[in-house]
A = this chain, B = another copy of it.
Amino acid sequence: MSLLVVMAPSAASSTRAHRRPADWLFVLPSVLPACPLSSWLSIRHARRRPQAMSDPNLIVDSDFGIDDATALLLALRVDPNPLKAVTVVSGNVPVSRGVRNCRYLIALADRESLGIEVYGGATAPLVPCQPPPSQWPGHGKDGFGDASDRLPEVSSTSLHLDPPDEHAANALVRLVNQRPGHYRIVALGPLTNIALAITLDPDFLSKVASIVIMGGCLFAQGNSNRTAEFNFHHDPEAAYIVFAASQRLSQQDDVQTPTGIPPAPKLTLVPWETTIRHGFAWSLFDRIQQVSPSTPLSRFIATVAAKYQDQCRYLYDDLVKIQNMTAALTDTPSPRSVANHHQEYIMMANSFTMCDAYAMLVALDESLVTESKAWNVQIELGGQMSRGMMALDWFSSSRQGSNNTVVVFGMDVSALEARFLRVFA
């Protein structure tokens, strides 16, 4: 509980700062009107009496790697439950596997009674890259770090049910048309389902409250090809379609608020470099095991994360090479260099980066964002090394395109860790 005491004011002050924007550039969609701090306070007790919001408004689109799984668990344990539906897309694992993992996680979190809908979606990208992006080994073939046979057992009747016939993209279109402006989407995988929904209904985006996306590279420091992040590299055309739709929307003359201020972009982006610069400390996981060695969720995270952690360390090894260099410079500090930046970068990389969990936490509570900015974001479809790359118009050099995306640069890591700990420990 002490954690919460520490956290609450922090979140509050962060929120305050955040709500005092200097000018119109400071735009962040209200991603969490329906999930206030009080919901978080009740997480611990949620296990006993899970309740659905009277009007659940959250849709999760996911390709069900490990960080997707933790992200879904974070949302499942919010009480009252905001989750309306989960739509599954091909990416870290195939769609059929993703549907099964999703059902397992709902059962693991003891939330089967809530009637959260699960839809299967696109089984492949619109136009696959050649060669296809290689899978990061951390997720395992099963999306559970190849530890499926060691997971906590759940008793469930629905585990092996087929998903409904309705395609995820059609379900998305139907839902947002039934309740325009109501649903918030958190997109944790390749954007194929979302792009299909936009293609089937060109007004789809205007009827969504917001979409929080995990994906893309800020600084062309690619984790899939040289310059692109996996989710966007896996289906570049889908990413292109989503950001282009937001650009069309933000350029429409009739999109005017009463104040004359342009509305916030529908898209909020948590990019790869932002997540890796905000990694969780390894000690967080030790702590989970100390506090709660035997709850289903703590056993789950301990089981699936072993492989993930190993792979994060490989990533870290890459970065140690930079550290060796900067270490050599410690006695000649260079205030105007990018050394500080890199030092900090490495420190953070030596940690556990649950990319999708950050996007989910930000979607559940916008006050965790400490730094963001609306930019024009576009997706490169061609090139030898840059297919799927995200390009910000940093210097407005091209002067093309409106601000179609709120890009998250900074998050309150302590608060993020506290939320994580609260659910898993």
Contacts and interface: CB of A to CB of B under 8 A. Distances in A.
B337 A393 contact: no
A42 interface: no
Given A219-B219, A386-B380, A395-B221, A371 B339 contact: yes
B219 A220 contact: yes
A370 B241 CA distance: 42
A219 B390 CA distance: 12
Contacts of A196: 196, 199-200
A402 to B, nearest CB: 14
Given A329-B371, A370-B339, A334 B412 contact: yes
Interface stretch (A73-81, A121-129, A287-295): A121-129
Contacts of A331: 13, 17
A342 interface: yes
B220 A227 contact: yes
Interface in A178-212: 196, 199-202
A322 B341 CA distance: 17
Contact of A169 (B200, B325, B392): B200
Interface stretch (A21-29, A141-149, A257-265): A21-29
Contacts of A373: 321-322, 325
B237 A324 contact: no
Given A26-B324, A328-B22, A329-B370, A395 B318 contact: yes
Interface string A320-347: 0110111111011011111111101000
Interface in A365-416: 370-373, 378, 380-387, 389, 391-398, 409-413
B341 A23 contact: no
Q: Which of A223, A318, A334, A381 has the most CB of B within 10 A?
A: A334
Contacts of A226: 378, 391-394, 397-398
- Give the oligomeric copy count: 4
A224 interface: yes
A202 B384 CA distance: 24
Contact of A371 (B126, B318, B337, B381): B337
Contacts of A240: 127
Interface residues on A, range: 35 or more
Given A371-B337, A381-B384, A328 B21 contact: yes
A241 B338 CA distance: 28
A379 to B, nearest CB: 9
A318 B123 CA distance: 37
A277 interface: yes
A19 B334 CA distance: 16
Interface string A10-40: 1001100110111101100000000000000
Given A240-B127, A337-B371, A384-B381, A397 B328 contact: no
Nearest to A20: B328
Contacts of A13: 331-332
A199 B89 CA distance: 12
Nearest to A174: B165
Interface of A: 10, 13-14, 17-18, 20-23, 25-26, 122-124, 126-127, 130, 167, 169-170, 196, 199-202, 218-227, 237, 240-241, 273-274, 277-278, 315, 318, 321-322, 324-329, 331-332, 334-342, 344, 348, 370-373, 378, 380-387, 389, 391-398, 409-413
16 contacts: A21-B328, A220-B227, A226-B391, A227-B391, A237-B237, A277-B337, A334-B410, A334-B412, A339-B370, A339-B409, A340-B341, A342-B371, A383-B383, A383-B386, A386-B386, A386-B389
Given A14-B332, A22-B328, 10 more contacts: A13-B331, A25-B325, A169-B200, A196-B199, A325-B371, A335-B413, A337-B371, A340-B340, A385-B398, A386-B389
Which 5 pairs across A and B sit closest by C-beta, in order of nearness? A337-B410, A383-B383, A220-B220, A22-B324, A219-B219
